[in-house]
Amino acid sequence: MKDEFEPRIIGFLCNWCSYAGADLAGTSRLQYPPSLLPIRVMCSSRVDPLFVISAFLRGADAVLIAGCHPGDCHYQEGNYYARRRFACVRKVFETLGMESDRLRLSWISASEGPRFANVITEYTEKIKKLGPNPANKKIFL
Amino acid sequence: MEEKIGVYICECGPNIAENVDIDKVINVVSSLPSVGIVERHKLLCSEDGKKFLKQSIQEHGLTRLVIAACSPKQHEATFMKVCEEAGLNPHLFQLVNIREQCAWIIEDKERATDRATRYVRAALRRIPYHQPLEKREIDCNPDVLVIGGGITGIETSLLLAGPDRKVYLVEKTSFLGGKLREFEKLAPGMESTDKLLKHKIKNVEESENIKVFTNAEVKGVIGFLGNFIAVVKTGENEELEIKVGSVVVATGFDLFDPTKIPRYGYSKFDDVYTSLEFEKMNLNGKILLKNGQPPKSIAIIHCVGREERGYCSAVCCSYSLKFARYLKARFPDVKVSNLYTELSVPGKVYQKFYEETKAMGVDFIRAREIEIKEKVIKYLTEDEKEQNLAVDMVILTPAIQPSSDASKLAEMLKISQDEKGFFAEEHEKLGPVSTSMEGIFIAGCAQGPRNIADSIIQAEAVAGKILSSIIPGKKLEPEARTSEISEALCIGCQTCLEVCAYGAIYFDEIKRVSVVNEILCRGCGNCAASCPSGAASLKHFTATQIHQEVVEALR
Amino acid sequence: MANILKISKNAEEGLRELLRFLLEKKRVKAVFTLRKINENSAVSYSLITDSEMLKDALPLFPLMPQNAGKLLSRLTLKEHLLEPTAAVVRPCELRAFIELVKRKQGSLDNFIFISTTCPGTYPLELSTNGDIWKKLPEYEMCVKEGDIVPDIRPVCQACEHFIPYSADMTIALIGKKDVDKSCEIFLNTEKAEKLIEGMDGELSEGELETKEIKKLHSKRQEKKKELFKEINVESLGLSGLIETFGRCIGCHGCGRVCPICYCVLCDFDSRDYECEPSTYESELKKRGGMRVPPNTVLYQLGRLTHVSVSCVGCGMCTDVCPADIPISTIFLKVGEEVQNLFNYIPGKSVEEAIPLTKYEKEEFAEVED
Amino acid sequence: MKGARVAVKDSIEKTVLNILSKAIDKKLFDVILIPIMVPAGDSYAWVLAQDKSLLDSASSLPPIMSVQGAKALSSVTRMGKTNKKIAALMRPCEIRAVIELSKLSQIELDNIFLISMDCPGVLPLKDWLKDPTKGINSFRKVIQRFVDGDPEPDQSVRPVCTICHRFYDSSAVDLHIGILGKKGEYIFFIPHTTQAETIFAELGLSFKDDISHWQNGVDEVLKQRKKKRSLVQEELKPEVIGLDKLLDTFSNCINCHICQSVCPICYCRQCYFDSDKVKQPPDDYLMRAESKGNISLPPDKILFHLGRMSHMALSCVGCGACEDACPMSIKVAQIFSLIADRSQELFNYIPGESLEEPLPLRVFEEDELHEVETP
């Protein structure tokens, strides 16, 4: 039990949709793996690509950005910008042959408690297969 | 000053206590730097709990506060209020969610406890970087600027105007009433328009709380909810500065220009008219052909420009029925044929109105590829048969489209337009008459095609919004967790300005730096993430605070 | 068909002639170009107002002491030019400047841009030991033949954007057998045509994009493939990055010379990236050791995310790197990939908004779920 | 002064590292800050080494100075004192920079134990990168030649190292390791603090041995270095004295400011010369151009270098990082050494020599420097 690899996923959750979605998952007592380390931001557009990169280099096994579905952003269009920035940073990872699967963008609304639980469960499984983030042990970062 | 952080862990009855070993958490946390006191409580959000919190903050002279309890969406506000009462700046507080996102989702108590500890540590790592944020209050001007003197604008003005709320009604033409003035009767009741309009206009003109400007134009609007300054160019060509707290855009619509579709023969053949031209003819009692003779057979062409514009204008069918009634009333034997692609008579009354009209011998033909020639209409029937219909007058019902000056106005007010060019509501359901700019509202056909009844409903909706949100003497409390831009670090690339949805960032040409208007800013943080040099940051969600949180969570 | 002004002097002389004409006829207030500034034959960009000084001008000298885009931005950051100024710049420098203008870091007003079909430039070190002067004959030969010049900087050898996008005048060099006898100036704008009115030389018509140009283009594409193969960017992975950037000395010189890095203070030099002792302690607990100063890889990745969308592949970063890291190759590759996402060519047109300042409602379904 | 004479096993490097790893075993230090070869094997990076296994690829005297050690240490302690007990093994010029930076509050020395070693100099970064393996071998020779006491420095090291006259210990160091004087058979551990004595006593070192061999060794080399230093500086003068000369010398400068960013003493978060303050509207540049017919861009290259000199000359430790990193191979360090020596003499201040001595420009004496006054 103890020595089984338990991924650590940094999750930037937008206050209005995804964070509320996570709360709903909780109030509905849905069980999902304790792999998520939620960081509350007001909008997915607050997530500076550098947050993602430094979380990754600090050894996060994965980084999740979750926000309102397109069109539903509490701030009208924030998530569209978030998506562009994410596309950008992910392309950087891909092009450099780094595991871009460790970065994920998901739209989860306040009413999608079950979806939230699924996303975390399913993503955790995926990361388990990938194994720990090598950056964790690197010294010359 | 010596920092002293207080950590309070809520048992939330059994909710947290049962699944998290709170004592264990307390154990770990107590040893952490500058943690002054760590305590648990049965139910912090209860009256007793709040009292206990307030006392502890004061007795221990806490400088920062971390509470591990339920979701911030539940009780952040509650506890911030307690901080305030206790004389601690409410932003020097962090609420850790160990219920919804911990106790309730993890069965294994050991794991849940470990998670809870982690969360609390992360908060403790973050809290030293919290800054006290000041609570600001601004006066809020109750007066209203209504742009557009049509039925919607009139209705809004009448509802809003009162002894403690002035309304400024700006109309670009020389008279109030808009397009409605030309309508003799209204569908489906066929009551005379005067009944509705005349006395409303009279009331407006007589009200000392409504100032009407005709032949006037809004030249510019700056400011924000509660504090707009509008420049109005009056009929006398003088420019007035008007201070208002909110703006209502009720600028109505224009008709689609039928000459864009040559096959309708508009302005090519005689006796082809648009609906508005026909209303006028009817109002003046002169429905006559070019040659002075009364018409014997008339075709009303529906859905003109429906395909081109890409939406149904919702009103054409019903007023076409009204037109048929006009005609039948004047020339009992006249032959009226409606050529439509889709017939739309929704709602509880129009179906009946339609059936009665049909019963009067008015034809309804589903037709495609309509082509108007001299005194004859070619079209394809539903079963692809080519037909010719001889008529001596044609009435086109062109689509309703945004008024020509919509874009100019949208730009001036910094509100957005939808892909069709109508003013865009904040949210179809959550904010149907609000816009991207707080304090600016839209009603009537300016927002999209709708009939008079619906326009009036929107007018009332807007009035309701304003009356309930901008009560005279009210102070506004703008968001404290706004963005800020470091003058020292800003290089003036204005990326932030481009991505801001609220026009909350302006550029200081002299200093060559971007500046946040903290009252317009809603605190999304988009600008902060878009700034390469870290000059823009979001209070309470600064790069450092988030970074610290992440680092500790990963420890 | 573009208008051509032909001057029967070698390309550089002809260009000098043109610049002299513009200055003397007061068509321009000043000329921005490379110039030999002393007997040690050091070459630097200069702003020249006195036509006499043009004798030392080396407008076509195959060296990029700095990306001119950065300099033009420095020149027009506070205010736009009030009087016309001719700037002789390379295509990538012009593109860099346009990217900067999009970021309000300068203004195009009153600039007349004179560029060339660019054969590329030599590494800086060749100018420090003087070898560059010995190489000029070989350079000219390759230019005539439309070949890739040996020993020019790798990114130049792999550069596909060697025809300027928005220059008023373009000096045709590549594949011109007679660059040593005649100077062909393509007049791309009316502004350009007006400016040269009254200048002697014959007007003719012709195509800038000759078959030699197309040939070179495909050669360069080939070269680029090889270059990318050498470094094998796509298969670097984290370990590869650590190996490649392991010898980085953290001088951030790459950022300082990068035309797209326009921040007052680089975020990575800011307080935000300082580590508290406690951070070191937790990192040590995790790793048993830690490189200091930290953030070597973070800096490079971070700069990539900031720059890639606008990287014009000018190669300055590699050229100044004291640790000889092939930064520019990596940035070129990543830049291309990111730019393809938005099919955006940085610096092609000033009208095109920077992709990250706008969005489409329907896009990138592949990155979301 | 006494020290501990330690017999060299295998190599000086091994001997030193051996003792340090023992120190870790015995928990005398938690962490060693030391240059360690990077995975690609083409450079050395400063590493806070907690696992002593890391010391296997460490080097007590690496062939290059990729990053000035003081910069590494300040990145660890600028935000506050560390709770780990860190031993930092550095070259004398790095130690001196550390001392200067601690005076400037960029380094917090609590819990930091400073160890220095006699330094034969380092290879130029550019040469090294051409062939690291070759570099390692040629540097072995450099060390050998140095400890053999040949006063003539090996020409493969950086020019500025060949004129270094501070290659031995600063009195501000906790422990110095003398490798001169005994041809590499023995090295000397020379404590400067009681802390040093107690710690290394734990490792069985007793500081009773006579160290005159080492002292003589140092004096020998020092004599020659001083000679060479003044010689080189004299040769240099004609190149730099006078504005025109100075302009010529820096004419190749491309304003990358890398010299400043690698300089341990240039500790500003943002260099004044990169700030907005130096950026002017176009007509300012045009005006200056018109007055001379032209202006080379960027302007103010010399202003930058003179400005930097005036900021750091008094604390310049002559480590040569600037020259090593200059993409245009300008003799920055050698030129600076000229200015640094003169200005340091003025206050007879030796940067990094002692923690107690205040930075000259932070204090004054009422009765001094009359030579600069015009009566």
- How confident is the model over A60-76, as a mean pLDDT? 91
Please list the residues that pair with B336 across neighbouring strands: B298
Omega prior to C355 cis, within 30 of 0: no
Cross-strand partners of C46? C33, D296
The region, left, alpha or beta by phi > 0 then psi within -120 to 50, assigned to residue B252 is: left
Chain A residue nearest residue C287, CA to CA: A137
> Rounded distance, CA B450 to CA B541, Å?
43
Q: What is the pLDDT of residues B373-428, one digit of tens each?
A: 999 999 999 899 999 999 999 999 999 999 999 999 998 887 888 999 999 998 88
R_g of chain D computed on alpha carbons: 22
What does CATH list as the number for B144-252+403-469?
A: 3.50.50.60
Cβ-Cβ contacts under 8 Å for B436 (sequence gap 6 or more): A76, B414, B415, B416, B424, B426, B501, B502
Highest mean pLDDT among B86-90, B496-500, C2-6: B86-90
Output the tens digit of pLDDT for each of chain C's 369 residues: 458 999 999 999 999 999 999 999 999 999 999 999 887 778 999 999 999 999 999 999 999 999 999 999 999 998 999 999 999 999 999 999 999 999 999 999 999 999 999 999 999 999 988 899 999 999 999 999 999 999 999 999 999 999 999 999 999 999 999 999 999 999 999 999 999 999 989 999 999 999 999 999 999 999 999 999 998 999 999 999 999 999 999 999 999 999 999 998 999 998 888 888 888 998 999 899 999 999 999 999 999 999 999 999 999 999 999 999 999 999 999 999 999 999 999 999 999 999 999 999 899 998 988
CB-based burial, D36-57: b 16+ in 10 Å, e otherwise: bbbbbebbbbbbbbbebebbee
Return the H-helix or E-strand segment holding A14: strand A9-14
- Asked if the C-beta of C263 comes within 8 angstroms of chain A's C-beta atoms, the answer is no
Question: What region does C47 belong to: left with phi over 0, alpha with psi -120 to 50, or beta?
Answer: beta
What's the DSSP call for residue A133? -
pLDDT in the model for residue C2: 55
Domain with CATH 3.50.50.60 in chain B: 144-252+403-469, 256-399
Query: Cα angle vertex C285, ends C279, C290, to 5°?
Result: 65
30-59 in D: which are within 8 Å (CB) of A?
Answer: 38-39, 45, 47, 54
Kindly list the residues from chain B whose CB atom is less than 8 angstroms away from the CB atom of residue C264.
488-491, 533, 535
- Tell me which chain D residue has its CA closest to the CA of residue A138: D39
- Which pTM value belongs to this model? 0.81
- CATH top-level class for A9-134? alpha beta
Greatest CA separation for chain D:
74
Among C residues 266-295, those touching chain B with beta carbons less than 8 Å apart: 266-267, 270-272, 279, 282, 285-286
| Cβ–Cβ below 8 Å for C322 and D251 | no
Q: Supply the DSSP string of D258-291, one letter for each residue.
A: HHHHH-SS---SS-GGGSGGG---HHHHHHHHHH
Interface confidence (ipTM) of the complex: 0.79
Fold of B256-399: FAD/NAD(P)-binding domain (3.50.50)
Q: Indicate whether D372 pLDDT > 90.
A: no
Tell me how far apart the alpha carbons of residues B516 and B506 are, in angstroms, rounded to a whole number. 6
**Best to test chain C binding among A84, A115, A137 (most C CBs inside 10 Å):** A84
D257/C contact by beta carbon, under 8 A? yes
Topology of domain B5-133, CATH? Rossmann fold (3.40.50)
Length of chain C, please? 369
Domain ranges in chain A are 9-134
* Interchain pair C264, B489: CB under 8 A: yes
Cis amide linkage into residue B188, ω under 30° from 0: yes
> Does D291 have pLDDT greater than 60?
yes
Instruction: Give the Cα separation of B474 and B419 in Å (integer).
Output: 36
Cβ within 8 Å, pair D256-C32: no
CB-neighbour burial class of residue C193 (10 A; exposed 0-12, middle 13-18, buried 19+)? middle
DSSP result, C142-178: HHHHTPPPTTS-HHHHT-S--S-SS-SEEEE-TT-TT
Q: Does C295 touch chain A (CB under 8 A)?
A: yes
> In this complex, do A139 and C246 lie within 8 Å of one another by their Cβ atoms?
no
Between chains, do C103 and B494 touch, taking CB under 8 Å as contact? yes
Q: What is the pLDDT of residues D238-267, one digit of tens each?
A: 888 888 888 888 989 999 999 999 999 998
Quick one: pLDDT at residue B196?
Answer: 86
- Does the domain spanning B483-539 belong to CATH 3.30.70.20? yes
Q: DSSP code of B434?
A: B
Q: Assess A141–D contact: CB distance below 8 Å, yes or no.
A: no
Q: DSSP readout, B74-100?
A: HHHHHHHHHHHHHTS-GGGEEEEE-II
The minimum CA-CA distance between A140 and chain D, rounded to whole Å, is 7
CA distances from B212 to B34, B169, B234 (A): 64, 5, 10
Whether D1 and chain A come into contact, CB under 8 Å, resolves to no
Min Cα distance C369 → chain A (Å) is 5
Whether a cis peptide bond, with omega within 30° of 0, leads into C293 is yes
Angstroms from C147 CA to nearest CA on chain A: 30
Tokens of D279: 């950026």
Q: Are B171 and B153 in contact (CB under 8 A)?
A: yes
Cα separation values, B505 from B295, B498, C123, D191, Å: 61, 9, 43, 61
Q: In sequence order, what are the beta bridge partners of D189?
A: D4, D177
| Contact yes or no for C40 and D252 at CB 8 A | yes
Where do the H-state alpha helices sit in D26-171?
69-77, 92-103, 125-130, 132-147, 159-162
